[in-house]
Amino acid sequence: MFITLEGPEGSGKTSHIPYLVEYLREQGHVVFPTREPGGTSISEQVRDILHDLKNAEMHPRTETLLYQAARAQIVEQVIQPRLTAGEIVISDRYFDSTIAYQGYGHQQNLDEVRALVKYATGGLTPDLTILLDLEVEIGLKRKTQNEMEWNRMDAYTVEFHKRVRAGYLEMVKAEPKRWVVVNSDQKWESVQEELKRVIVGRLQVTG
């Protein structure tokens, strides 16, 4: 099974994944965690370029293409082989981030962005995508208060991030069978338990 966690900045995706992986392994599953952009040597180098605050002049099309380059590499080198081997892959972001950020956020042509995504992924779609949803202002405040990484994407305007969140919610409406929304504006432990419940429930259905 291919599971992805999505959400606006500060939604808590990264902090939850290690605990979800540990829990699923305790249940006897073979689980591999990864992240986007990143997950391979090549993709991590692209991540550094994309997130570097010094690259503020980067054009949205350049940004979009770089994300697809990193994504194509991890799909072919890591994600697809592990899925073929019967493993569970959990990714911190995947192509829905591109639709949300580079599509809705930058207000680029969504059909063109989706075509690039399909090419980069070879059509590989997650079995389950969980949106950790919360108000944009709360998420950005979390990142600054908790001294989390502040990268070039975080530095976009609040209006940009609001378009990103709205984009996510539109995608949920379009594919309700693939998406599950979890309110991340609650205690971390409550979010973690809800994530476990959602994932285990889906595994039972597919297994």
pLDDT at 7 over 90: yes
pLDDT at 83 over 90: yes
Number of domains in the chain: 1
Task: Give 10-35 pLDDT, tens digit per residue.
Answer: 898 999 999 999 999 999 999 999 99
pLDDT of residue 154: 77
Over residues 6-10, mean pLDDT: 90
pLDDT of residue 135: 93
pLDDT at 85 over 80: yes
* Strand-by-strand arrangement of the 88-92 sheet: 31-35, 88-92, 2-6, 128-133, 179-183
pLDDT at 144 over 90: no
For the question of whether the overall pTM of this predicted structure is more than 0.85, the answer is yes
pLDDT of residue 143: 74
102-135 burial: b if 16+ Cβ within 10 Å, else e: bbbbbebeeeebeebbeebbeebebebbbbbbbe
Supply the CATH number for residue 98's domain: 3.40.50.300
Which residues span the domain enclosing 42?
A: 2-206
Task: Label residue 205 by pLDDT band (50, 70, 90).
Answer: confident
pLDDT of residue 9: 86
pLDDT of residue 67: 97
Using CA atoms, how far apart are residues 163 and 167, in angstroms rounded to an integer? 6
128 vs 152, higher pLDDT? 128
